[in-house]
Amino acid sequence: MQNAASTTLPPTGSGTPGDRAFFGHPRALATLFFTEMWERFSYYGMRALLILFMTSAAAEGGLGFDNAKAGAIYGLYTAGVYLFALPGGWLADRLFGQQRAVLYGGVLIACGHFTLAVPGLFTFYAGLVLIVLGTGLLKPNISTIVGQLYSATDERRDAGFSIFYMGINIGGFLAPLVCGYLGEEIDWHLGFVAAGVGMILGLVQYVAGLKHLGRAGIMIPSGFEPAAENRRRQQIYRRLAGGLVAMAGLAGLLAAGWLPLTVVELANATLIIIAGFAIACFAYMFAAGGLDTGEKQRLGAIALLFVFSWIFWSGFEQGGSSFNLFARDLTDRVILGWEFPASWFQFVNSAFVILLVPVFAALWLRLGKRQPAVPVKFALGLLLLGAGFAVLTVGANIAAEGTKVGLGWLVVVYLLHTCGELCLSPVGLSTVSRLAPARFTGQMMGLWFLSISLGNLTAGQLAGKTETLSMAQIFFWVFVVSSAAGITIALFQRPIRRLMTVDP
Ligand code: PHE
């Protein structure tokens, strides 16, 4: 992490307070909103098909994997997508700036989906790798640019991230409908093509709207002499090449079966490696990042929030894993004599986000300076998550007695979880973009995404425990841990707030 002399611009608030062209927010937010909407359309559209495609028989055009293998690939893929946000953010800080990183990421993602659209095992894995790399470049950096539209004291920041979050979920809502239908009903590969086309639409829109972004996400010159600048860049390219070679080597070892790890062991090892890496990154920035006292305090605050974010996503992301099993096995899904597919519950979260974002955005805006402080919003998020798990514990206990529960149970849980998500997730992105030391904005966002990556992995591991523990037991313990976490952060909100102070 040296060479910090070359940096992106600090959050300049390039969308000046007077720019209110998009729902009271800078016009640039519209460009980022629609880019991310299409990126998430492609991500969730493909994700809706992924496990079905892997597990369906070759005769049906699928890959014919067993559930364990498919599940492991699914878990490692979803964790990988957010893991690579870290190198993505790092590269944006040092080489591209966020604006260009988003462009390159989008191109890689589109290539990934079109690669998946070509039948064959090699194209399948290659497509997944391209999407992981592309999302690592796009997702954290587009969030960083959103943050740069607001000055550190602009009260619209949290509301801006909430609006941005709405774009995410419009994409997430439409995707399973379009890609899911095409993939499941017509041809898997057509579903992947649809995801790729979505990303292309997003890219066209992004390039057309670049002019609105102004200086947000642009690299400033490093100030080095050309020769020194060349050396700096070459060093980065060498590290990049080294990283890619190491990754290819690891993939080769795994593919050849020379790393005798079970999938579960691989997931456990990955968890430890990611967590260790996150600790090392925080420690490095703290000790050797050249930060002043205020910046160190804010870094400490982000590190604390990181832990709570991990806990939150470990519960929340079970929406795709154990809740799916709950929907399939323990929920009565018959409406008017017809049993709808378990996977339809995947829409509920996005639908609630779309309905509730305007409510939350208006609420934060109206409360202005009186709105709850960030740690309190985190506490609310975790308590709502816990409340959802409490409801589900009761539901699972009832169902354990042999009667399936009504679909209202899961709907209520998703409602609670979505409210929790809206208290915590956009606020987390917004806070990291505001508190990150200016030199590290991109990689700080990448580091933040590691908490989400860890959460995805833990959520998968917890769902895997349904073989040894009852669902009710798992849900109960998640309820206990998330509620305890919520109470803890609420109790310590004052000292955490003190760490977060930014001089205007
Ligand atoms: N549903 C959210 C999204 O796709 C989950 C998420 C939040 C992922 C924050 C990364 C960061 O954006």
Question: Which domains can be identified in the chain, with CATH numbers?
Answer: 22-499 (1.20.1250.20)
pTM here is 0.83
Q: Is the CB of 203 under 6 A from ligand 1?
A: no
Tell me what pLDDT residue 404 has.
87
DSSP of 268-320: HHHHHHHHHHHHHHHHHHHHHS---HHHHHHHHHHHHHHHHHHHHHHHHGGGT
**Residues 143, 442 contacting (CB under 8 angstroms):** no
Tell me what pLDDT residue 101 has.
94
Cα 168 to averaged position of ligand 1 atoms, centre (Å): 8
Cα 138 to averaged position of ligand 1 atoms, centre (Å): 12
Token pair of 150, please?
């607001």
Q: Whose CA is nearest to atom 2 of ligand 1?
A: 168
- 405 DSSP β-pair partners: 331
Q: Is the CB of 309 under 6 A from ligand 1?
A: no
Residue type, 358: P
Residue type, 364: W
Cα 426 to averaged position of ligand 1 atoms, centre (Å): 9
Distance CA(150)–CA(138), nearest Å, equals 20
Q: For residue range 106-141, what is the model confidence (pLDDT) as tens digits?
A: 999 999 999 999 988 889 989 999 999 999 999 989
Q: Whose CA is nearest to atom 8 of ligand 1?
A: 452
- Residue spans of the chain under pLDDT 50: 1-15, 504
Distance CA(233)–CA(258), nearest Å, equals 35
178-195: b (≥16 Cβ within 10 Å) or e: bbbebbbeeebbebbbbb
**Residues 140, 446 contacting (CB under 8 angstroms):** yes
Distance CA(265)–CA(267), nearest Å, equals 5
Token pair of 173, please?
């809502």
- 335 DSSP β-pair partners: 338
Tell me what pLDDT residue 433 has.
82
Cα 313 to averaged position of ligand 1 atoms, centre (Å): 10
Q: Whose CA is nearest to atom 12 of ligand 1?
A: 168
Cα 405 to averaged position of ligand 1 atoms, centre (Å): 29
Tell me what pLDDT residue 1 has.
38
Give, for ligand 1, the residue of 348, 452, 453 to mutate: max count of ligand atoms closer than 8 Å to Cβ: 452
Q: For residue range 455-491, what is the model confidence (pLDDT) as tens digits?
A: 988 887 787 776 667 888 889 999 999 999 999 999 9
Distance CA(451)–CA(281), nearest Å, equals 13
Tell me what pLDDT residue 5 has.
37
Q: For residue range 362-413, what is the model confidence (pLDDT) as tens digits?
A: 887 788 788 888 999 999 999 999 999 999 999 999 988 888 888 899 999 9
- Closest ligand 1 atom number to CA of residue 143: 11
- 331 DSSP β-pair partners: 405
Cα 231 to averaged position of ligand 1 atoms, centre (Å): 36
- 219 DSSP β-pair partners: 8
Q: Is the CB of 170 under 6 A from ligand 1?
A: no
Tell me what pLDDT residue 247 has.
80
